[in-house]
Amino acid sequence: MTKLTAYGRLAARFRRIATIGECASMLGWDAAAVMPPGGGAARGDQLAALAVLHHEHLLAPEAAADLAAAEPSDEWEAANLRLMRHAYARAKALPADVVEAQAKANSNCEQVWRIARKQADYKQVQPHFSEVLNLTREAAAALSAELGLSPYDALMDGYQRGIGTDDVAALFAAYEDFLATALPQVEEYQARQPAPMRPAGPFPIPVQQNLCRDIAQRLGLDFAHARLDESAHPFSGGTQTDVRITTRYLEEDFTSAILAVVHETGHALYEQGLPSAYARLPVGEAAGMAVHESQSLIVEMQAFRSDAFLGWLGSRLHTTFGGEPELYCTENMGPLWRHVERNFIRVDADELTYPAHVILRFRLERAMIDGTLSAADLPGAWNDGFQALLGITPPDDAKGCLQDIHWYDGTFGYFPSYTLGAMAAAQLMQAARAQIPDLDTAFGRGDLSPLLAWLRVHVHGVGSRLDLNAILEQATRHKLDLRAFQEHLRERYLNMAGRAEARGPL
């Protein structure tokens, strides 16, 4: 048997660590999709045990010795080794008892949050959330000292490398200025147009389930290595060879189920397109959550909600549900599915106002981590911030600070990825359109394959060998910026509005 080098031993170790992570991912999917309510406490213990095991394998003395001695033989191994050393530094910063305490507190708080949200009662979850927040602050401080980053930047680093608070704050401030002008203009235009017609239900859920599966498969999802299930909050999880996506169904409206499936399919396509030669190694993983979000949004927002794709979808919807053909024409579907409205709920927001929801969360979680905002004061700060950004105040906690699972399961530093991903998606689509002839012709056939093939080369197949900005520079010749996203929004909501005015009302 050939004796492994230091690098070879590290590769074997990190594949084992990744397998432990896969087990935790599957338990997380199970908790959201099929676990009975009474299983929450035991599930917290299971996840905590896996978190400690993951931590112990990473911090074994042999790992430290191999990390010091390993030599890469090519650029992939060099990138892999950098990522391994970074993962080790993050793990070394956190004592095992903190890792275990966080896993248990996060799981417990999430279960209480589910009840509190249903009852719109933040006070039920507040003491549990206080524990989660205190542990997160403790972890952030430890990571800060090890990585030489601010506590909040150290948390963001765990989700998207290479993007810091200053970068995000500048992009978000520029977007807020853009929104202050663009939103009233779009609202004024919409107010002068006839309201789009909404198809009337009921739309049987079994029919929706079949349709959603067919759409995901049409977009390129390989169901030999994927499942589509139902959960309270749509998400994508699992592993590269066993992707799990979920959606939620409403009998009176098929829109939310379809759009959630399309969004999560974008995530799943990225996972299935990652470089299989580096599976279960850091360099073979997704390049961060902003990159991941760019892949869901380039499919859902950039491609699927385009006029060309809606033309294909409208025909499919009419065949499936019947009714008047006019309900499903692009002239009706476009205004219906791209309607701009100030909304309390992030996951229901349109793409123009969605970044305001993220900007609010970015500001609040920074304040919570630096200690200037307590768990007790979160509801009031949320309502004040929402009023300042969008001019409306949530009527209750369920439509305010309880609407998202993220903070209650200990996820801090993640939210910026949503809007950074939207910006990156616009940059990538702009470049793809310049390089792929007749892309809209393919969309008009319901065919995503030309775009998917381009993404396989420029994003998916890169894995984590490059970070967000390097991926964008290679694919679009620019680091992340706001220009392409603003141009996309102007074209879809302002320039198109101007052309519609010239044609007259629909």
Please check whether residue 305 is in contact with residue 422, taking contact to mean a CB–CB distance below 8 angstroms.
Answer: no
Which residue among the candidates 110, 264, 285, 365 is catalytic per the annotation? 264
Report the DSSP pairing between strands 236-239 and 226-230: unpaired
Rounded to 5 degrees, what are φ and ψ at 245? -120, 150
For the chain, percent helix, then strand, then coil, each to nearest 5? 70, 5, 25
Nearest alpha-carbon partner for 226 in 217, 27, 218: 217
Closest residue by Cα to residue 340 from 327, 328, 355, 325? 355
Q: Would you say 379 and 368 are in contact if contact means Cβ atoms under 8 Å apart?
A: no
Query: Measured between alpha carbons, how far is 21 from 51 in angstroms, rounded to an integer?
Result: 8
Alpha carbon distance 35, 280 (integer Å): 27
CA angle 322, 328, 329 (to 5 degrees): 140
* CA angle, residues 337, 340, 344, in degrees to nearest 5: 105
Cα-trace Rg, the chain = 23
Distance, first Cα to last Cα, the chain: 73
Distance CA 16, CA 84 (A): 13
Q: Mark whether 188 is an active-site residue.
A: no
Question: Is-contact 250 256, C-beta < 8 A?
Answer: yes
Cα–Cα distance between 335 and 330 in angstroms, integer? 8
DSSP 504: -
CB neighbours (10 Å) of residue 449? Answer: 12
List beta partners, residue 143: none
Q: How far is CA 331 from the centre of its chain?
A: 29
Helix axes 6-33, 75-93, angle to 10 degrees: 60
Q: Which residues are catalytic?
A: 264
